[in-house]
Chains A and B, each alone.
Chain A
């Protein structure tokens, strides 16, 4: 039983080979197969128009959806062959939609992040609790810990979800639209949390709807086109007007801000 995440000690690598994601209402096209390696320390942005399969890709990587074909390997181990409980110690996902489950408080919810690291008979230790409290503090939620989840706003729930993932402390972070519902301050704060994780040798893969968040924070991007094969590589090389206009079928104007491109849709 691994009590502490191995994220920092062994460099993580999530390798996709000829992966085809089953996207609802879409015909599978072998040309869309993904063959790439996500490496520790990288911050990946998955970009594409609505319904192209960004969420489906993240759910497939987390084995919550069956893959149509190909393989996903985490540190040379096929994720489809790993027991769910040991996968959850190394790989965590934050959902875009927060399911309205049973009543629970913020502290109880974030504590569930420690679930994969404890055996059925174990109770949370001091170490688990201090990890949870640190996550709450990082997202300014300490004052909220006894509040019921359903009393929170959408943005506050988003921060609870991020704190839960922080408490889970996996070496692979899959994050679906991290800036959803958040005000400007917490959009930046959430991205800072993710960047800190990448800086400590973890892998972050997130879906984004805002190109300018990708230009500012991502080291790499994966562009999922509706009508042509996907492309992937460094953010610097791929985030150009020529690549992005066909991605969204939208005319863009581009300017520069502090050395980074800034894209603005034009009517």
Chain B
């Protein structure tokens, strides 16, 4: 079967080549993002700052001001894109996104409460995380009645709880003192200026990608439907729970880091599937890289387009995401 071996070799290459290209793109976008800002630096100046050379100002600018935010943006994008890809498999719906089950709603209500109480910084992030966890537990508890998690019940429970959070958010905005409203709106749109540290996001993103590697094939089978997956030897109940909890954790960390940045989790897995096919072993790591690139570049735009003022990064991802999504929909590729 010489033909078969060639085909297999081609398929193997088709896994590693895209990941290699996306890794290169990621490095380029990270360097670009660190170089851009109120003061533009050359890539060489960025390199010098990393190497501990160059001016002290450049070193502070690169290592202490820009690098943490850029790294946080990249990790947020990666978390959201992987979470979106997982949700889409779990719900067998290519239109699902990380927020469809109400996780960001819970986080938003908690974060807005914190802003209203005058809490900021790490404590605000902690509140947002608690809100996300609370919402996850609520959806999971209500939908896994009798130990059996039917996808449709999960989706409906999530959607209803999300709209409940939505109503609460509106109520809080209506009752908030006017001077607090801009801060609340920025948080709701997703804004990386709140990102105090990138390391939590990275500490979750990297191990999750490792855990997902051996699960990729099972996820391919689960995508064909729970009955087919069970017939091929997958423990569907356990796998669905792992996927739900992982996706929730990723979303919670992303929302905690940067607020609810929209469209990344929806658009990135989609575009990748159109180009790279449906093998989750490739799509999941590729989503992490491509999602990271998108948010990194979007945040660079958000920081520079009306500098010294800043836009919330969520505005930029929505401006990119909405037309892209409508275009895909029109082309009938969904």
Contact = CB atoms under 8 A, between A and B. Distances in A.
B239 to A, nearest CB: 11
Nearest to B279: A108
Interface string A24-56: 000000000000000000000000000000000
Residue among B94, B213, B225 with max Cβ neighbours from chain A (10 Å): B225
A87 B231 CA distance: 9
A99 B278 contact: no
Contact of A64 (B94, B224, B227, B273): B227
A124 B231 contact: no
Given A112-B221, A124-B8, A84 B278 contact: no
B52 interface: no
A75 to B, nearest CB: 17
Chain B interface mostly: helix
A72 to B, nearest CB: 15
Given A112-B220, A120-B214, A104 B230 contact: no
B230 A84 contact: yes
A248 interface: no
A85 B231 contact: no
A105 interface: yes
A102 B94 contact: yes
A64 B220 CA distance: 19
B218 A120 contact: yes
A116 interface: yes
Given A62-B231, A64-B230, A84-B235, A105 B4 contact: no
B224 A130 contact: no
8 contacts: A87-B233, A88-B233, A95-B231, A102-B278, A123-B12, A126-B8, A133-B1, A133-B3
5 smallest CB-CB distances across A and B, nearest first, come from A88-B233, A99-B225, A120-B214, A102-B223, A85-B233
Interface of A: 62, 64, 84-89, 92-93, 95, 99-105, 108-109, 112-113, 115-116, 118, 120-121, 123-126, 129-130, 133, 168
